[in-house]
């Protein structure tokens, strides 16, 4: 009886565990769906609070995925590899090792150490705090991808997520249509960022701007400071930048088009009027998206992307003699845009080619239709120079913003390279490329390619997701959509959807070797620990960033060329905001610009005159330089403050000497 009871209890436990796993799997799907729906509608989740919410949701999906699939998750190694890159880039290392691996990083830390007159522990990253934030975001993004691969092996979950993607595309497109037709923002939450400098803001997080601008000098008494004034985005739809609005449509409209087209094909077999109506609706959705992007948002790359994605869907879903024709149309579209981009870049770099009025007019038309090709190609060159300075491990993920002024000869400064792939090359180096190569080799197999080609004909979700990737991936050469948290999450989910649908046989593999089982167990435990750490880090960062908002406002009041408040009130604003800012600075995961912001507050409190406040400003600027050694604009300011204080002390000593005589 005892043996029978034990067997029964064991079976009951296994049955209960299986039910719990099914519940946790659906819970993960619902959390992903909620994050996907909300993220694009709140400025792409670029604000600290919504970014934290999105990261908590991603970490929760990772935790539930561990509970559901455990050691079966095939791509759990990918987020662990991301953590490994972050650990290598941010840990203090011996100077000779850093010099051999990353000469650029070594010289940056040596330069900062000489300027500050104190030793600094060299690291491979030239902005360790920014790298930590980037690693957390990339870790959670790859984790969502790994879990999605396993979730979509259940076709019910895959279909649910597919319609969630379609819903996102419809909502965002409708939002854009309303703004295009009415000519005004439906919601304008970013208006506060436009005060007091209009379309520029020196203290805004570059993630919430167009990520480019120009450096301007500020004068506070006898001290000057150079700061980049970031150009704010054009704010189309729910996004702060129209190109990111276009990136969202690239990732969703091909899915909408494919799902509606399948319904039309199925209903058309019954010769129903509804089938024809659904087909017309599919074409109307695609046409509307292209029109809104081209005429309303002026997002050229996204317009071409949606066109390519929808053409890809038609190509994959077409059979017989028309398939080859549609494939030729797709190739001609892609080739035509590449040629126009190349011509635009050539015209920009070689203005002497416009020798005749006819040629000049033609090149001007190409330049207008493509826009910014020369500048984007120059950004590729900046990234390449960064890579050559630190080819093995890169300058550090998230560190491009602080290194770009050092490697660029342009007056325009950029926080992101406007070229996701080249920026990854510069920040991750060969180490990051090696991880990416291993990942591509794992999914790019002849069997998977055959499955994708065969199943895309009858599986609208696979064809639509493939079209979304075809639409989105070329955009990464000329923009920075993958830095927008909501779009990065969409990309991770769609990539996981495609991989999970074309490689279903890998689910549930059983490894007999104990060493492999133990390794997978260790990976699961490490991932679980970092999921919890990511949740804690997201909350801490959001709290610190929120605490700094009053300080940003107070400093902007003092920086305003036409202050609306008296100097006494502006000083009171700074004094009221300082305690919360100092508390945020003491947190382990605070925004990278916190020391500079507090240094500016003390600088304005001192009015550029020698005293305790000016010394405190110097200390905070030194702390900022010690954390990001390539912030060359701080070096001149620190030297000016030192000179001003030394001159004041010498004058005081001379006066005391005269008094003593």
Q: Is 40 a residue whose pLDDT tops 60?
A: yes
Per-residue pLDDT tens digits for 402-422: 999 889 888 888 999 989 999
Two structure tokens written together for 594: 């916190």
Per-residue pLDDT tens digits for 607-639: 888 889 999 999 999 999 999 998 888 999 999
Are residues 148 and 492 in contact, defined by beta-carbon separation less than 8 angstroms?
A: yes
CA–CA dist 611, 545 (Å, integer) = 29
Per-residue pLDDT tens digits for 72-83: 778 888 999 999
Cα–Cα distances in angstroms (integers) from residue 571 to residues 540, 547, 549, 618, 637, in the given order:
28, 18, 16, 19, 21
Are residues 266 and 275 in contact, defined by beta-carbon separation less than 8 angstroms?
A: yes
User: What is the 8-class DSSP label of residue 292?
Assistant: I
Question: Residue 411's pLDDT is what?
Answer: 83
524-529 contacts, C-beta under 8 A, 24 or more apart: 524/66, 524/70, 524/71, 524/73, 524/76, 526/80, 526/83, 527/62, 527/66, 527/76, 527/79, 527/80, 527/143, 528/62, 528/63, 528/66
Question: Residue 474's pLDDT is what?
Answer: 92
Better-scored residue on pLDDT, 658 or 330: 330
Per-residue pLDDT tens digits for 510-559: 444 566 666 777 777 888 888 888 999 999 999 999 999 999 989 988 88
Question: Residue 523's pLDDT is what?
Answer: 77
Q: Is 189 a residue whose pLDDT tops 90?
A: no
Task: Give the residue-averaged pLDDT of 265-284.
Answer: 63
Question: Residue 361's pLDDT is what?
Answer: 52
What kind and span of H or E run contains 59? helix 48-69
Question: Residue 509's pLDDT is what?
Answer: 45
Alpha-carbon Rg for the chain, nearest whole angstrom, is 28
- Average per-residue pLDDT for the chain: 85
Among positive and negative, which fits the CA dihedral 53, 54, 57, 62? negative
Looking only at the bridges linking them, the beta strands covering 212-220 and 223-231 are antiparallel
**pLDDT > 90 fraction of the chain, expressed in percent and rounded:** 52
Two structure tokens written together for 13: 């436990």
Question: Residue 508's pLDDT is what?
Answer: 44
Taking Cα atoms as reference points, which of 570, 531, 533, 534 lies closest to residue 554?
570
Task: Give the residue-averaged pLDDT of 179-186.
Answer: 82
Q: Other C-beta atoms within 10 Å of 199: how many?
A: 15
User: What is the 8-class DSSP label of residue 324?
Assistant: H
Question: Residue 310's pLDDT is what?
Answer: 94
Q: How confident is the model at residue 567 (pLDDT cuts 50, 70, 90)?
A: low
Q: Is 138 a residue whose pLDDT tops 90?
A: yes
Question: Residue 83's pLDDT is what?
Answer: 93
Q: How confident is the model at residue 3 (pLDDT cuts 50, 70, 90)?
A: very low
Are residues 524 and 146 in contact, defined by beta-carbon separation less than 8 angstroms?
A: no
Two structure tokens written together for 40: 């694009």
563-566 contacts, C-beta under 8 A, 24 or more apart: 564/196
Q: Is 483 a residue whose pLDDT tops 80?
A: yes
- In this prediction the pTM is 0.91
Question: Residue 177's pLDDT is what?
Answer: 93
CA–CA dist 447, 461 (Å, integer) = 19
Are residues 464 and 259 in contact, defined by beta-carbon separation less than 8 angstroms?
A: yes
Per-residue pLDDT tens digits for 315-373: 988 877 788 899 899 999 999 888 888 877 776 666 555 444 455 555 555 545 555 67
| Cα pseudo-dihedral 179, 185, 189, 194, rounded to 10 | 130
Question: Residue 427's pLDDT is what?
Answer: 95
Question: Residue 594's pLDDT is what?
Answer: 93
Question: Residue 512's pLDDT is what?
Answer: 44
Cis bond upstream, residue 196 (ω within 30): yes
Q: Which residues pair with 224 in a beta bridge?
A: 219
Q: How confident is the model at residue 507 (pLDDT cuts 50, 70, 90)?
A: very low
Question: Residue 368's pLDDT is what?
Answer: 52
Q: Is 255 a residue whose pLDDT tops 60?
A: yes
Question: Residue 562's pLDDT is what?
Answer: 67
Backbone angles phi, psi at 187, to 5 degrees: -130, 135
């Amino acid at each position: 009886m005892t043996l029978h009871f034990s067997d029964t209890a064991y079976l009951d436990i296994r049955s209960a565990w299986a039910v719990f796993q099914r519940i946790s799997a659906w819970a993960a799907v619902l959390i992903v769906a909620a994050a996907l729906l909300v993220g694009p509608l709140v400025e792409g989740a670029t604000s600290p609070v919504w970014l934290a919410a999105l990261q908590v949701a991603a970490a929760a999906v990772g935790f539930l995925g561990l509970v559901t699939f455990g050691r079966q998750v095939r791509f759990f190694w990918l987020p662990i590899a991301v953590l490994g890159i972050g650990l290598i880039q941010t840990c203090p290392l011996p100077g000779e090792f850093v010099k051999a691996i990353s000469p650029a990083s070594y010289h940056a830390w040596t330069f900062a150490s000489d300027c500050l007159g104190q030793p600094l522990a060299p690291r491979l990253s030239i902005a360790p705090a920014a790298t930590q934030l980037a690693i957390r975001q990339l870790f959670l993004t790859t984790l969502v991808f790994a879990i999605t691969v396993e979730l979509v092996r259940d076709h019910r979950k895959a279909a649910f997520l597919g319609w969630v993607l379609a819903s996102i595309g419809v909502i965002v497109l409708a939002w854009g249509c309303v703004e295009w037709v009415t000519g005004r923002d439906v919601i304008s939450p970013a208006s506060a960022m436009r005060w007091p400098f209009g379309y520029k803001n020196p203290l805004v997080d570059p993630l919430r701007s167009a990520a480019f601008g120009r450096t301007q000098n500020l004068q506070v008494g006898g001290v000057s400071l150079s700061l980049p004034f970031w150009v704010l985005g054009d704010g189309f739809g729910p996004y702060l930048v129209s190109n990111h609005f276009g990136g969202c449509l690239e990732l969703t409209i091909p899915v909408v088009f494919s799902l509606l087209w399948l319904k039309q094909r199925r209903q058309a077999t019954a010769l129903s009027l509804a089938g024809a109506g659904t087909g017309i609706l599919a074409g109307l959705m695609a046409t509307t998206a292209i029109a809104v992007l081209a005429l309303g948002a002026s997002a050229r790359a996204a317009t071409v992307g949606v066109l390519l994605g929808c053409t890809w869907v038609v190509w994959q879903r077409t059979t017989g003699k028309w398939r080859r024709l549609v494939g030729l149309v797709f190739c001609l579209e892609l080739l035509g845009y590449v040629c126009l981009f190349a011509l635009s870049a050539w015209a920009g770099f070689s203005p002497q080619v416009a020798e005749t009025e006819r040629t000049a007019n033609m090149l001007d038309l190409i330049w207008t239709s493509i826009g910014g090709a020369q500048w984007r190609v120059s950004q590729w060159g900046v990234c390449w120079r960064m890579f050559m300075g630190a080819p093995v491990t890169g300058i550090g993920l998230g560190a491009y913003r602080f290194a770009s002024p050092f490697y660029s000869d342009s007056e325009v400064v950029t926080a992101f390279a406007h070229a996701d792939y080249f920026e990854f090359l510069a920040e991750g180096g060969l180490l990051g490329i090696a991880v990416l190569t291993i990942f591509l080799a794992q999914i790019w197999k002849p069997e998977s390619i055959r499955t994708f080609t065969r199943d895309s004909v009858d599986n609208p979700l696979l064809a639509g997701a493939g079209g979304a990737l075809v639409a989105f991936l070329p955009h990464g050469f000329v923009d920075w959509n993958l830095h927008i948290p909501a779009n990065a999450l969409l990309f991770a989910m769609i990539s996981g959807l495609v991989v999970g649908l074309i490689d279903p046989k890998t689910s549930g593999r059983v490894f007999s070797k104990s060493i492999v089982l133990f390794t997978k167990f260790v990976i699961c435990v490490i991932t679980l620990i970092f999921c919890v750490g990511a949740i804690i880090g997201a909350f801490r960062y959001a709290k610190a960033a929120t605490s700094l908002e009053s300080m940003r406002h107070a400093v902007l009041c003092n920086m305003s060329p036409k202050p609306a408040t008296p100097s006494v009130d502006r000083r009171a604003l700074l004094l009221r905001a300082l305690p919360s800012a100092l508390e945020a600075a003491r947190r382990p995961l605070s925004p990278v610009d916190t020391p500079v912001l507090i240094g500016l507050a003390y600088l304005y409190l001192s009015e550029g005159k020698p005293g305790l406040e000016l010394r405190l400003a110097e200390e905070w600027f030194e702390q900022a330089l010690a954390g990001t050694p390539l912030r060359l604009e701080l070096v001149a300011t620190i030297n000016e403050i030192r000179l001003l204080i030394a001159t004041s002390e010498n004058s005081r000593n001379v006066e005391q000497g005269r008094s003593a005589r």
